[in-house]
Amino acid sequence: MDCVENRLITSRRGLLLGGASFAAWAYLPKFARAADGRDPRLIVVILRGALDGLSTVAPIGDPDYAGLHGSIALTADGAHPAIMLDTFFALHPAMPEFARMYRDMHAAVIHAVATPYRDRSHFDGQDVLESGYAGPGRVQSGWLNRALEALPRGERVSSGLAVGPTTPLVLRGAAPTVGWAPVALPQADDDTAMRLVDLYRHRDPALASALSQGLQLEKAASGDDMKPKPGNAAMQMRQVARGAAKLMGADDGPRIAALAFDGWDTHANEGGPVGRLAFLLGGLDGALAEFESGLGDRWRDTVVVVATEFGRTARINGTDGTDHGTGTIALLAGGAVKGGRVISDWPGLKLANLYEGRDLKPTTDLRSVIKGVLQGQFGLSDRVLAETVFPDSAAARPMKGLVA
């Protein structure tokens, strides 16, 4: 198999340097399902900070939802009505593109989902989500990289594409990856800035005052912060997605990519139909639209998986936000998704049904969803998925029928 390895190395160099070596590279990736003419692509989007699933896809048919989510609950009417996905679930109004894909049967929601992790630390939760192991502390490789490695010999996809300044854990490991990041470097996001100002207020008022002023100068220079503009979080999501889609749209481009969007840790002033979460969801929605348009014809064979480390409390806290929780949502989008449905074994939001009396109870293992996608897209076997990609996960059976 030496020759295969050599080709992979060549491919990596070629991508890195953009030199002639890449153009001369004769190897074209083949896939497990190449026989039926498909050329599948998979994009994994990690939302770091724990997405509030109940605010993104709201169970407005659940009688307890409005009371629990209080001031930030979505409604089917009003100035910014949520978009009804069925008679029970409604999508956040900041996501019209996803709604369109859903109507076209190319997007799906899995609700009340969680990784096997049951504590509430972001770092550990992200490790479990990305490593694919059942518990924290394993950070050598990620499930997407092991899935890449497990693809049949000689039919390997080209390298996985790591989008961003570093390779996310989910794509780290032995299989070759290439990296790409927009040159325009992101500024520190507002959430990080707010946390730092808060720390300074308690410990170092002089620095609090200096930094607050610096941030205001910045705002004044760039205008209204909630409008997409170069440099803000929503615009950055779009920009990153546009670049990644362009790379993946090439004939010999990477078939698999992973990227992470930050900022979802909405402890305070989360906002309802408008506000901070709405702003971020708008960015995510824009990124999905960029994938769709950038991949062109390839979109037909694409699945985008959007996942987060855990959910947030069902009841809002004292600062119009939500704290670390458990069950949340996963989103699937792409031409290959058998969509137009919310897949959920809904646990209900009655106090007795909440996990530890506070969180949406997870009824679906996120690994089942991802396994279902990997199987549908690349034909990986139950055994490989249960032993290599997600070690010790035989109980989480691949979800069937996610991919058209």
Binders of another protein among residues 182 to 211 (CB under 8 A) are 182-189, 191-193, 195-196, 198-200, 202-204, 206-207, 210-211
The Cα–Cα gap between 344 and 108 comes to 11
CA distances 34 to 38, 175, 337, 377, 382, Å, are: 5, 21, 18, 11, 20
Q: Which is nearer to another protein, 64 or 252 (CB)?
A: 252
The Cα–Cα gap between 51 and 338 comes to 23
The Cα–Cα gap between 262 and 244 comes to 17
Q: Which residues contact 210 (CB under 8 A, 6 or more apart)?
A: none
The Cα–Cα gap between 323 and 115 comes to 18
* Candidate residues 176, 325, 335, 398; the one interacting with another protein per rule CB under 8 A: 176
Name the token pair of 250.
Answer: 């090439």
Q: What's the DSSP call for residue 387? A: I
Binding region for another protein (CB under 8 A) out of 56-64, 251-259, 357-365, 367-375: 251-259
Rule CB under 8 A: say whether 263 interacts with another protein. Answer: yes
Rule CB under 8 A: say whether 269 interacts with another protein. Answer: no
* Candidate residues 217, 351, 394, 395; the one interacting with another protein per rule CB under 8 A: 217
* 69 phi, psi to nearest 5 deg: -85, -10
398 neighbors 385 (Cβ within 8 angstroms): yes
CB of 128 to another protein, least distance (A): 14
Burial of 250 (0-12, 13-18, 19+ CB in 10 A): exposed
The Cα–Cα gap between 73 and 56 comes to 10
Q: Which residues, 76 to 105, sit near another protein by CB under 8 A?
A: none
* Candidate residues 103, 214, 356, 382; the one interacting with another protein per rule CB under 8 A: 214
CA distances 327 to 99, 124, 400, Å, are: 22, 16, 21
Name the token pair of 159.
Answer: 């390298």
Rule CB under 8 A: say whether 243 interacts with another protein. Answer: yes
The Cα–Cα gap between 59 and 156 comes to 41
Rule CB under 8 A: say whether 321 interacts with another protein. Answer: no
CA distances 167 to 100, 142, 180, 207, 272, Å, are: 31, 10, 9, 33, 33
* Candidate residues 53, 116, 164, 362; the one interacting with another protein per rule CB under 8 A: 164
Q: Which is nearer to another protein, 105 or 207 (CB)?
A: 207
Rule CB under 8 A: say whether 283 interacts with another protein. Answer: no
Q: Which is nearer to another protein, 167 or 393 (CB)?
A: 167
353 neighbors 342 (Cβ within 8 angstroms): no
* Candidate residues 78, 81, 103, 166; the one interacting with another protein per rule CB under 8 A: 166
Binding region for another protein (CB under 8 A) out of 257-265, 327-335, 355-363, 391-399: 257-265
Rule CB under 8 A: say whether 22 interacts with another protein. Answer: yes
Q: Which is nearer to another protein, 61 or 179 (CB)?
A: 179
CB of 276 to another protein, least distance (A): 13
* Candidate residues 40, 42, 43, 49; the one interacting with another protein per rule CB under 8 A: 49
Q: Which is nearer to another protein, 52 or 62 (CB)?
A: 52
Binding region for another protein (CB under 8 A) out of 31-39, 98-106, 172-180, 340-348: 172-180
Residue carrying structure tokens 């709201």: 58
Q: Which residues, 292 to 311, sit near another protein by CB under 8 A?
A: 296-297
Rule CB under 8 A: say whether 14 interacts with another protein. Answer: yes
Amino acid identity, position 285: D
Binding region for another protein (CB under 8 A) out of 36-44, 163-171, 270-278, 385-393: 163-171
Binding region for another protein (CB under 8 A) out of 83-91, 248-256, 282-290, 381-389: 248-256
CB of 177 to another protein, least distance (A): 4
Rule CB under 8 A: say whether 239 interacts with another protein. Answer: yes
Edge to edge, the sheet with strand 83-84 lists 57-58, 90-91, 83-84
**Count of residues of this chain found to bind another protein when the rule CB under 8 A is applied:** 76
Name the token pair of 153.
Answer: 């010999």
The Cα–Cα gap between 357 and 102 comes to 32
Q: Which is nearer to another protein, 142 or 327 (CB)?
A: 142
Rule CB under 8 A: say whether 126 interacts with another protein. Answer: yes
Name the token pair of 77.
Answer: 């009417």
* Candidate residues 18, 63, 81, 154; the one interacting with another protein per rule CB under 8 A: 18
